[in-house]
Homo-oligomer: A and B are copies of this chain.
Amino acid sequence: MPALSLVLLFSAIICCSSTLQPVNTSSPNIIIMLMDDMGWGDLGVFGQPSKETPNLDAMAAQGMLFPNFYTGNPLCSPSRAALLTGRLPVRNGFYTTNAHARNAYTPQEIVGGISKDEILLPQLLKTKGYVSKIVGKWHLGHRPQHLPLKKGFDEWFGAPNCHFGPYNNTVRPNIPVYNNSEMLGRYYEEFKIDKKTGESNLTQMYLLEGLDFILRQTEAKQPFFLYWSPDATHAPVYASKPFLGKSQRGRYGDAVMELDHSVGRILSQLRTLGIENNTFVFFTSDNGAALISAPNEGGSNGPFLCGKQTTFEGGMREPAIAWWPEHIKEGAVSFQLANVMDLFTTSLALAGISPPDDRTVDGLDLTPVLLNRPSTVQNRPIFYYRGNEMMAVRLGQYKAHYWTWSNSWAQFKSGINFCPGQDVPDVTTHEQREHTMQPIVFHLGRDPGERFPISVLSREYRDVLSRVTPVVDQHRKTLVPGVPQLNMCDLAVMNWAPAGCEKLGKCLKGPASKPWKCVWTH
């Protein structure tokens, strides 16, 4: 068939002429796209009925989907600390011991932040010449010593805390937006978010900041790490004018559509610059959809139970897509149990850096999975923590709950519901219920929604426990908890006078220091 050979030859020429530089597996650029409170069920490729994420669906079709990908904790700050340190929050200190099994984060009054003893991904990447930028939300502490440029990032455009507000600056300052080490303004002041209409240009700004960074590093032939962390899907959700009202899903969907569009723009820029074969991109979210804000300002966890703040699947299973043309097989699906801490170790592996050997690192190197050597790295457990307590563990398809809690009766009766419309007896409990003597076990393959506990009288139950128990015992026995960083609060530490405020005339005067033990209600 000479005609066919000719076609193949010409096709090959056409195909490869679009690649501007040769494939390079050593020190590829790394982009981690971390969404805020976006749920597993928010992407078309994961079954969102509105199917409004064409760019993410295409990213999955060109890359590898991870249906069993987890966060390190069911809320923002500890999840992000886990990603950047490769360690469980109970190890890296992003938790509280003020009460049992409580979710702590970094509100404005938090005294602590990421510990000076923790080594962050950009600090390590710097040893191999990477330039790193964070665009968007930081959430690892807002005091000067905790900010990104102190922790290995070379550039930052974004904010240290959530975009809650607007506040009356005499009582509580509005959150600052930084450009590198100095504030540029504040949310609801220079950086508008219209809570009534949901309009804000922030995602567009974060997109342009990302694109500009990629362009500059590419022109400088610099390997780079971009940690792209927009927060439009965290309540109060927002979108820019062209996207408002466009979704079938209301304002939350508008925010998703704008983020999807931005992902498409970034991937498209990589192709335009000819660096797509030399850039590893990973898309995921920091925790499950916040059902407390649904349906107008919260997302979907698909078939999973409950959402953000909980250690049920809806709180911790995340949408996840890896993309790296010519390296990751198109349209692949990996059932590997994986988590955000693996992104730390995997990024190091891609850059040819060994993880720190003076501490426990929980992340695994996923490159064998990504590059399709074995399809599974290892049958590793996933731990589901809430504060200082290991609530549950997954091993293979089985998940054993040692503690269950949605939230307290007091919170629940005040209208705060992390599991709206869902009620699994003895599971979605409103008091902390201990099951350590007889864990509640689910088979997540047959029962992803955690609705049908396996009978404790069954042989299957006994078999599971005989395999899970040693894993849990080993974990508990060897665990050395880090010094908890999220115990103390103080109004004096809020964002009254961030660096750069003088130039802008935006320094505020805070109260005298009067620390207290933070109260974490759930």
Query: A-side interface residues toward B, CB under 8 Å?
Result: 3-4, 6-7, 10-11, 13-14, 41, 46-51, 65, 67-68, 247-250, 252-253, 294-296, 300, 302-303, 305, 333, 335, 397, 420-424, 443-452
A74 to B48, CA, bound (A): 22
List residues of chain B with CB within 8 A of the CB of A445: 50, 247-250, 253
- Minimum CB–CB distance for A296 against chain B, Å: 7
Set of chain B residues within 8 Å of A451, measured between Cβ atoms: 294-295, 420-421
A23 to chain B, nearest CB (A): 23
The reply to whether B6 and A443 form a contact with Cβ atoms under 8 Å apart is no
Residue of B nearest to A445 (CB): B248
Q: Return 13 A-B CB contacts under 8 Å, by A number.
A: A6-B10, A47-B47, A50-B445, A247-B445, A248-B445, A249-B446, A252-B446, A253-B445, A295-B447, A420-B452, A421-B422, A421-B449, A421-B452
Task: Give CA–CA (A247, B333) in the complex, Å.
Answer: 15
Q: How far, in angstroms, from A4 to B10 measured CA to CA in the complex?
A: 8
**Contacting pair B14 A10 (CB below 8 A):** no
Q: Are A422 and B422 in contact (CB under 8 A)?
A: yes
Q: Is the CB of A295 within 8 A of B446?
A: yes
Give A443 Cβ to nearest chain B Cβ, in Å: 7
Among A14, A50, A68, A424, residue most surrounded by chain B Cβ atoms (within 10 Å): A50
Give which listed residue, B47, B295, B397, B422, contacts A248 with CB less than 8 A.
B397
In the complex, what distance in Å separates the CA atom of A206 from the CA atom of B371? 39
Contacting residues, chain B, for A423 (C-beta < 8 A): 421-423
In the assembled complex, the Cα of A294 lies from the Cα of B448 at a distance in Å of: 11
Contact (Cβ within 8 A) B420 A335: no
A422: which B residues are within 8 A, CB to CB? 421-423
User: Shortest Cβ distance from A513 into chain B, in angstroms?
Assistant: 43
Residues of B within 8 A of A253 (CB): 445-446
* Most chain B beta-carbon neighbours within 10 Å: one of A253, A296, A421: A421
Q: Are A49 and B303 in contact (CB under 8 A)?
A: yes
CB distance from A316 to the nearest CB of B (A): 14
Question: Measured between C-beta atoms, what is the minimum distance from A394 to chain B in Å?
Answer: 13
In the complex, residue of chain B having the shortest beta-carbon distance to the beta carbon of A450: B421
Q: Kindly state the separation between the CA atoms of A424 and B333 in the bound complex, as whole angstroms.
A: 34
13 other contacts beyond A294-B446, A302-B303, A423-B423, with CB at 8 A cut-off? A41-B47, A49-B68, A49-B302, A49-B448, A50-B445, A249-B446, A250-B446, A253-B445, A253-B446, A302-B302, A421-B422, A421-B424, A421-B450
Chain B residues with Cβ under 8 A from A303's Cβ?
A: 41, 47, 49, 300, 302-303
Complex: A443 Cα to B49 Cα, angstroms = 13
Q: Kindly name the residue among A41, A302, A446, A447 whose own CB sees the greatest number of chain B CB atoms within 10 A.
A: A446
Interchain CB contact under 8 A, B47 and A443: no
- Among B4, B65, B250, B335, the residue within 8 A (CB) of A443 is B250
A424 to B291, CA, bound (A): 14
Are B249 and A294 within 8 A (Cβ)?
no
B7-A3 in contact (CB<8A): no
Q: Which residues of B contact A46 (CB under 8 A)?
A: 47
CA distance A48 to B335 in the complex (A): 12
**Cβ–Cβ < 8 Å partners of A250 in chain B:** 443, 445-446
**How far is it, in angstroms, between the C-alpha of A489 and the C-alpha of B446 when the chains are bound?**
37
Are A51 and B333 closer than 8 Å at their CB atoms? yes
Sorted nearest first, the 5 A-B pairs with minimum C-beta distance are: A47-B47, A421-B451, A248-B445, A295-B446, A295-B447
CA distance A303 to B423 in the complex (A): 15
State in angstroms the CA–CA spacing of A14 and B448 once bound together. Answer: 45
B51:A48 contact, CB within 8 angstroms: no
C-alpha spacing A48/B444, complex, angstroms: 12
**A48 with B49, Cβ < 8 A, contacts A7-B14, A247-B445 known:** no
* A420 proximity list for chain B (CB < 8 A): 451-452
What is the bound-complex CA distance between A41 and B301, given in angstroms? 13
Return the chain B residue nearest A251 by Cβ.
Answer: B446
Would you give the shortest CB distance from A259 to chain B, in whole angstroms? 17
A448 CB contacts on chain B under 8 angstroms: 49, 300
Instruction: Give Cα A276 to B250, complex, Å.
Output: 39
State in angstroms the CA–CA spacing of A449 and B421 once bound together.
Answer: 8
